Amino acid sequence: MLTLSATLFSCFGQNANPELVQASGETIESRFRPPTGYKRVETAENSFAGYLRTLPLKPNGSSVYYYNGLPKINRGVYVAVVDMELDKQDLQQCADAVMRLRGEYLYARKEYNDLHFNFVSDGKPRYYQQYVKGDHSYTAFRKYMRYIFSYANTRSLHQEMRATDIMNMKIGDVFVQKKNPYGHAVIVVDMAVHPVSGKKVYLLAQSYMPAQDTQILLNPMNDDLSPWYELNDQMIRTPEWTFEPTDLRKF
């Protein structure tokens, strides 16, 4: 049975367990509490996993907006919005949002030689260093990412990532489907583990079509656990897509 607080929370089109949400939290780590008995998995210093866990979030209750400034009505899809600038072009969709997060991390770390993504046309990578020609300004980086968004998609992202067993999931892994005419991609942005049972849970983030803010997804199958998902070898039903365990891939 839902408590009064849970019912009030649902009035905003959300069905997260309010006991797992710290409204004043400004990052993924501080906004979402692990379920009772679970502890966040450890992450290496300066790792991609650590970067994702500390992504800044817009104030609790914020709406997702499309690239054209219109709001995405929250019909049980998202519980939080990543606080990251969105281009006023229909470019940063699902796979693009994953590449944006990966790109932002590598750029911030100045790991410029590792910053590249494949084009769908020929399956070959386009390198940041070659594109910017020594201009390491953030403006040039964002221009490079728009260039990538224009010519990459779920198919090219699927190609350049490697398959990984779902039970070996790590923060930063991505569920990717390359269906025709289009697929979808969501990224694992946090994980927690129960020290006794060994069970794990995880959080997912996505963008979608048309281009929109990156959002932390609700778990439509389990209001008590939401927004966390239980790690198992079953189908993963997100609010707007269903994935198979074999869809999980890693950079």
- Per-residue pLDDT in tens (0 to 9) along the chain, 251 residues: 233 233 333 333 358 999 999 999 999 999 999 999 999 999 999 999 999 999 999 999 999 999 999 999 999 999 999 999 999 999 999 999 999 999 999 999 999 999 999 999 999 999 999 999 999 999 999 999 999 999 999 999 999 999 999 999 999 999 999 988 889 999 999 999 999 999 999 999 999 999 999 999 999 999 999 999 999 999 999 999 999 999 999 99
Write the CB contacts of 206 (distance below 8 Å, at least 6 apart in sequence). 94, 97, 184, 185, 186, 187, 214, 215, 217, 238, 240
H helical segments located in 94-246: 94-108, 128-132, 138-151, 154-160
Domain-wise residue ranges, the chain: 4-84+162-250, 94-157
C-alpha dist (Å) from residue 71 to 9, 68, 210, 248: 19, 9, 12, 30
- The continuous run of DSSP H or E covering 9 comes out as helix 4-10
Q: 């072009």: which residue's tokens? A: 89
Longest dimension (CA), the chain: 59
Q: Are 247 and 188 in contact (CB under 8 A)?
A: no
Distance CA 34, CA 24 (A): 16
